[in-house]
Amino acid sequence: MRVLRLAMGIFIIVQGISTKEWLFVGAGVLFSLMPIMNIGCCGASGCNTPIRKSNRNVEDVSYEEIR
């Protein structure tokens, strides 16, 4: 995935320079720096969710059949 993002960033930079669209060059630099520095939009471990440790004991549940 990092190689794909780097290739896409370089492609965007080249296309931005050839069409003289400097906003695209900036976006290409952003897309190129992300895989080089190994960061994403969320930052380091930004998409992780914390695991809650519960001290509650689960009791046995009894079910009653209804007819």
Domain ranges within the chain, ordered by starting residue: 2-37
pLDDT value, residue 49? 66
What is the reported pLDDT for 61? 76
Q: Which residues contact 28 (CB under 8 A, 6 or more apart)?
A: 9, 10, 11, 12, 13, 14, 15, 16
d(CA 62, CA 9) in angstroms, rounded, equals: 59
- pTM for this entry: 0.59
Q: How does pLDDT run across 9-55, given as a tens digit for each residue?
A: 999 999 999 999 999 999 999 989 988 888 776 655 566 666 776 66
Helix runs in 20-54, H state only: 22-37
Residue 50 CB partners (closer than 8 Å, separation 6+): none
SS3 24: helix
